[in-house]
Amino acid sequence: MSPRPTSGPAARRSAPRARPGPDDLRRTFEAVPARTSQEGEPFADSWWGRAWVAALESLSMDGARLARGRAYADDGKVAAITVTPGRVVAYVHGSRARPYRAELRLRTFTETGWDTLLAAVAAHPGHLSALLAKEMPHSLADTAREADVRLLPGPDDLDPSCTCPDLGRPCKHVAALCYQTGRLLDSDPFVLLLMRGRGERELLDELGRRNAEHSARERPAAPAVPSVAAADALADRYLPPLPAPLPVPPYPGQPPSYPDLPGARDPLGLDHLATDAAARAHALLTSGRDPLAGLTPWQDAVRIAASRPTAGLTATTRALYRELAHATGRNTTDLARAVAAWRQGGAEGLAVLETPWDPPAGPFDRARPLLAAAEFPRLTPWRNHLTHPAGTFQLRFGHDARWYGYESDPGADDWWPRAAPDPDPVTALEALLTGDPVPDPEADPPYVR
């Protein structure tokens, strides 16, 4: 027979496994298989587990019953054990077919006792570290005893009972339960603390809080920092001299020159993105919120591109469009079209461009009679679109109950946003018909090249 582990992870792996209970004050441990123990070998491995067994053996005046109970525990006759504050309960199989319900009651601590114990433990950081490692050092029991709290049980703390007809105190079934409980304590000293009235999670939270308060009281105060009045801080004697002004560039007004690194992203486009990120960070710091946090990467890319002026497009703008299109997996024509939609109606304008939808009955249904009364040709409906018979003009109804104008070359089905949106379809179509002609996306916008 290979020796049983006496401590450490191996011993804990051989211990009964706990099933989660409804809360932190109820733990149920699965039954363990039978095992063989040698003559004279301690039943528990840890010193606190052996102290538990010693309390049991001191309670009994009948060594034969204890020996029979230990044999029951070795033979695996103890079923799952449930531990709650003040109680340990399990069914134990005896000589009859029906198991007996064995129970052991243990005196719990009062609130005053717990407060005294926790205050004493919190004053020794090593106690908390040991408990986290599932260990109970002798110093922890000594600390409890010095605080007049008896952590480990004495014979007068244990109150056994069983459904068997044996009147022994304890009977062999309760003795078997007690021996098996010693194994539970070997693997987890929090089982003993649960018997005394507090669950593991509650204890760790309370010990952590008390330990932090104790450390704060013991920590020396930080030295005082001499204060400086604001007027003195701004005086010349506290400020370093200003650096010399930079030399005037030979060609004022020209953009800075960036090195052309092979394979690198365009530095002009990155410069604009960095400027936008800095402005966004400043808004977040000053207002405490990011107004653009709800945008998707594509929406944010369109927003950034739309912030560039359309007149006098430069290499910087072209580079920015290329960077944004590459980053979002689109081409520059898609980005230019989306920018036109963003300038037309922001995020809603972009949604109108990219996402057809089915409007409910109401304004959309009333649009065609209104357009007919204004003597416009009959427009063909499809979802939220109304298209001119010639295929060159189109109105799209947005979720914001406004009409967005679109224009395309005849038969091209290449729709581009045009004109400002309006709640009145007649006004929106008139603005579309009197607006600028649709540009050639391959020639007009130089940023799509």
pTM of the model: 0.45
| Spatial separation of the C-alpha atoms in residues 392 and 444, rounded to whole Å | 18
Is residue 197 a contact partner of residue 26, using CB atoms and an 8 Å limit? no
Is residue 39 a contact partner of residue 67, using CB atoms and an 8 Å limit? no
Angle, helices 111-122/125-132, rounded to nearest 10 degrees: 100
Residues 6+ apart with CB under 8 A from 109: 117, 149, 196, 197, 198
Is residue 419 a contact partner of residue 410, using CB atoms and an 8 Å limit? no
Domain spans in the chain, listed from the N-terminal domain onward: 8-217, 270-284+293-448
Q: Which residues of 344-383 are buried (b: 16+ CB within 10 A; e: fewer)?
A: bbebbbbbbbeeeeebeeebbeebbeebeeeebeebebee
| Spatial separation of the C-alpha atoms in residues 317 and 268, rounded to whole Å | 8
| Spatial separation of the C-alpha atoms in residues 33 and 90, rounded to whole Å | 15
Closest Cα partner for 141 from 10, 215, 51, 19?
51
Given 3-state DSSP classes, what are the helix, strand and coil percentages for the chain, each rounded to the nearest 5?
Answer: 45, 10, 45
Beta strands in 144-255 (DSSP E): 158-162
For residue 96, report the phi and psi dihedrals to the nearest 5 degrees: -95, 165
Neighbours of 153 (CB within 10 A): 21
Is residue 266 a contact partner of residue 302, using CB atoms and an 8 Å limit? no
For residue 250, report the phi and psi dihedrals to the nearest 5 degrees: -65, -25
Per-residue pLDDT of the chain (449 residues), as tens digits, is 333 333 443 444 345 555 444 457 888 888 877 877 666 667 777 887 888 888 777 777 678 888 898 889 889 899 999 999 999 999 999 888 889 999 989 888 888 888 888 887 777 777 777 777 777 877 777 877 877 788 888 767 788 899 998 888 888 999 999 888 888 888 888 888 888 888 888 888 888 787 777 666 666 555 555 555 555 555 555 556 666 776 665 555 555 545 454 555 555 556 666 676 776 676 666 666 666 667 888 998 898 888 876 544 566 677 778 888 888 899 988 998 999 999 988 899 999 999 999 998 788 888 988 898 888 888 999 999 999 888 889 999 999 999 999 998 887 788 999 888 999 999 999 988 886 444 433 333 333 32
The confidence score (pLDDT) of residue 65 equals 87
Between the alpha carbon of residue 121 and those of residues 3, 5, 38, 139, 141, the distances in Å are 35, 29, 37, 10, 10
Neighbours of 216 (CB within 10 A): 8
DSSP designation for 155: G
Query: In terms of DSSP H, where are the helices of 27-95?
Result: 47-59, 63-74
The confidence score (pLDDT) of residue 438 equals 40
Is residue 76 a contact partner of residue 82, using CB atoms and an 8 Å limit? no
First to last CA, the chain: 82
Is residue 100 a contact partner of residue 116, using CB atoms and an 8 Å limit? no
